[in-house]
Amino acid sequence: MESVTGPVYRRMIETIGRVGALYMVLLDPDRLTPDENVHLAALAAAGGVDVLLVGGSLSLEGRCSETIAAIKREVDLPVVIFPGNVGFVAPEADAILFLSLVSGRNPQFLIGEHVQAAPRLKRIGLEPIPTAYMLVEGGATTSVEFMSGTRPIPRTKPDIAMAHALAAQYLGLRIAFFDAGSGAKAPVPEEIVSAVAGYVDIPVMVGGGIRDPETAARIVRAGAKLIVTGDVVERTRDGGLVRAFADAVHGA
């Protein structure tokens, strides 16, 4: 019988146990060319990033496989797909966040995409990491909110976030990912992070709207075990800033 967890997930949990929290950078194969993403991946590796995420809400250019292959040739970090749909499945990756959008009620993103993707993952041997994906109000309509047709969890309702995360844990999902979304004006509130982290046993992952290392550190101190940044690294391409984020996440 296949194990529920694979080597990439186990490595992530071991890293959390060793340094306290794990820092991930998201690279978008639609917005940047493979060469540009390789450059950012190299900055990330040099700056202390633990895991690279590749993906987004759309797959307009179909460059996910090409981008991941190029990164794997140059950078020795785990590459995990952050899929907007089944079109992001790429055999070159080390694993994929098997995201279920449990904060929404759209069956396509609760289970529909998964039914299409599962046989492909098994055929190519790609490790799935069962992940509850929950949108939180970030002050702006994000791509994932628009594309999925779902409403985010209100920023002032930690009890709603807690109930969703606990349901995800009981369903057997291994990570509770709260995302304010790309381009969010504000990150996931620390009150939500703290409430959920104290309520569930699975690690809490947070992304969206995290623009400086100080914010990342506060979110880790609130209880997050995985931090994701994307836009800020893509925009600045500043290796020193990446190192500051990594130090803040690991040291918080």
Q: Which pLDDT belongs to residue 1?
A: 39
Is pLDDT above 80 for 226?
yes
- pLDDT tens, residue by residue, 8-57: 999 999 999 999 999 999 999 999 999 999 999 999 999 999 999 999 97
Q: State the Cα–Cα distance between residues 55 and 58, nearest whole angstrom.
A: 8
DSSP reduced 3-state for 147? helix
Grade residue 3 by pLDDT with cuts at 50, 70 and 90.
Answer: low
Give the mean model confidence (pLDDT) for residues 109-123: 97
Is pLDDT above 70 for 77?
yes
Q: Which two tokens stand for residue 151?
A: 């409403």
Domain edges within the chain? 7-251
To the question of domain 7-251 being in CATH 3.20.20.390, the answer is yes
**Contacts (Cβ under 8 Å, ≥6 apart) of 102:** 110, 132, 133, 134, 164, 167, 168, 173
Q: Which pLDDT belongs to residue 62?
A: 81
Q: What is the mean pLDDT of the chain?
A: 95
| Other Cβ atoms closer than 10 A to 65 | 18
- pLDDT tens, residue by residue, 232-241: 999 999 999 9
Contact 64, 83 (CB under 8 A): no
Is pLDDT above 90 for 92?
yes
Give the mean model confidence (pLDDT) for residues 101-105: 96
Give the mean model confidence (pLDDT) for residues 153-165: 98
